Amino acid sequence: MAIPSWHEACHLDDRITTADGYTRDVAGGWHDAGDYNKYNGFTPHSVWALLYTHEQRADLCRTIRSGPHCDILDEALWGAEFLRKMQEPVSGKLWDRVFSGYGHWNTPESETDNRFGDEKDRVATGEARNLWFVASFAHLGRVLRNTEFTDRALRHWELCRDPGNEGLHHNAAQLIAADELLRTTGDPQFAEVEEQCVRHILACQGADENYDGWFANAPGGKPAYSIVDNGLPAASLALWARANPTRNLAADVLTSLVRYTGFLTRLSDNPFGISKFYTGDAESFFFQFPEESSWHVGQNSQYLSEAWAAFLIFQVTHRKEALSHGLKQLDWVLGANPYGICMLHGEGRVNTATAHHRYNTIVGQPQGAVPGSVFNGITRFRPECDVPLWDMLEKGTPAYECNEPWIPHNAYYLLAVTELATVCEGDK
């Protein structure tokens, strides 16, 4: 679709071509970051975040135009329609991406000719198994009373469900997906899956000579770290505890969350109050990448996912340290950092002069920054130098590592401020 004042309709020739030669369009969705590729790694999570906010705080989702749904639900449906196109309806398979590389640095509408049938078409490839797709479509099936969404969620669940998977973040996402399916279908099997996931996450909690209360990737392992989903395991437990305060495991979950809060409080004992990178073998302010050429980005999703978890933990444990931790992570993203820069573009007193985005080729948009986008965030200066780096380039294209927007940051920001609003409402 065209975005007024930004660009004309683009990539209308994105397509899937099946083994038997059938072609269908997969136009739509969102550009994942500062390029024009579309991935089903974080698009399903972003759809779920929009739906979550719509459900939790519909009073804050004011519409600015007429239509059958408020704006935030419309945006979720926009993303969901792309996901629907990307799923094979019978098998439940989800295509992974629509990808054209990173070589095109121009306006989005100039990359292809918007017509099927030539070498410029972008063809979907790969296969994704994504529990956020399950959670999103189960949620939509319930909200819209549309069994097609529910059926698609169940088909993809059969591909994602993996009882033998000990992965911490897999079980956290599986817990949320099972909860959405339980609420939509009423099938008690999903309550059993929930309990299995809760037990597994609890079994992943550990301690070492430095800290108590962190979570490992698997029971008995070393502290886990995710630059995107670091707060997700604790958030999933807190969500479950809030919804199930009288279930058998509820007391164990609350004890676990109190331990985790203690871990975060000690790990963030620094002037800015930000959570550090910790794996047991290494501890630093910023993510440790091995060499200059290694892919790495700022940690805004880490901070924002932890903020979401912390606000949820505060609601179920009433520990003020959790609330304080969540606020400090938000503060860092919104300007309480060494550069004094607000990394939610268009807000705060100081924004970045330039963004790593191909939109800087659009006439009248030399900055390239999308209003409301959250940037990757401050990184370390060099592999061996744990000091903060933000690219202060005034013209041109800055470093992607810090100055590029990425949709998981926005998803976790939305989740965090939704629960902060709930906390503030409860204090009135």
The 10s digit of each residue's pLDDT in 54-99 is 999 988 776 665 566 778 999 999 999 999 999 998 899 999 999 9
In a domain, 150, yes or no: no
In a domain, 22, yes or no: no
Average the pLDDT over 141-157 and give the result: 98
In a domain, 114, yes or no: no
Measure the CA–CA gap between 32 and 25, rounded to whole angstroms.
18
Does 427 score more than 80 pLDDT? no
What spatial distance separates the first Cα and last Cα of the chain, rounded to whole Å? 42
At residue 92, φ and ψ (nearest 5 deg) are 85, -5
In a domain, 215, yes or no: yes
Answer whether 15's CB lies under 8 Å from 123's CB.
Answer: yes
Q: Which of 10-24, 193-207, 234-248 has the lowest mean pLDDT?
A: 10-24
In a domain, 107, yes or no: no
Residues paired with residue 344 on neighbouring β-strands, in sequence order:
374
Does 363 score more than 80 pLDDT? yes
pLDDT of residue 64: 60
pTM for this model (two decimals) = 0.97
Does 187 score more than 90 pLDDT? yes
Average pLDDT value for the chain: 95
Measure the CA–CA gap between 369 and 362, rounded to whole angstroms.
11
Per-residue model confidence as pLDDT tens digits over 341-361:
999 999 999 999 999 999 999
Q: CATH number, domain at 334?
A: 1.50.10.10
Total domains, the chain: 1
| Residues in CB range of 291: below 8 A, 6 or more apart | 383
- Angular region, 394: left φ>0, alpha ψ -120 to 50, beta rest: alpha
pLDDT of residue 63: 62
Average the pLDDT over 126-137 and give the result: 98
pLDDT of residue 20: 76
Give the domain range for residue 240: 203-428
- At residue 78, what is the residue type? W
pLDDT of residue 413: 99
Confidence of residue 21 (pLDDT cuts 50, 70, 90): confident
In a domain, 174, yes or no: no
In a domain, 258, yes or no: yes
Confidence of residue 285 (pLDDT cuts 50, 70, 90): very high
In a domain, 97, yes or no: no
